[in-house]
Amino acid sequence: MIAWIVVTTLVAVAPVAAWIYFRRFEVMRPPIGVFDWHDVVFMLVAIVVVPVAYLALPRAVVGTVLCLLALN
């Protein structure tokens, strides 16, 4: 239960902290390619969904997913 509260709190804080950071500092353009709004939305959704999914899924599934991602 404590892990769920900690992860949920950090998931809520991450987009707010990013919003505050990007309002204060200007980010230079990447040297190759351009980030479209689709890319930004995908990254924000992944930042919010992945930690909660890792808590909700069984350990065997999480281990399998992490191994597949590491071997990719």
Q: How far apart are CA 22 and CA 55, in angstroms?
A: 29
CA atoms within 13 A on the CB side of 38: 1
What pLDDT is attached to residue 39? 87
Residues with Cβ within 8 Å of 62's Cβ and at least 6 positions away in sequence, in order, are 54
Domain span at residue 49 reads: 2-71
On whether the CB atoms of residues 48 and 11 are closer than 8 A, the answer is yes
Per-residue pLDDT of the chain (72 residues; tens, 9 = 90+): 888 999 899 999 999 999 999 888 887 877 777 778 888 889 888 888 888 888 898 999 988 988 898 887
When divided into structural domains, the chain yields a total of 1
Return the sign of the alpha-carbon dihedral for residues 39, 10, 48, 64. positive
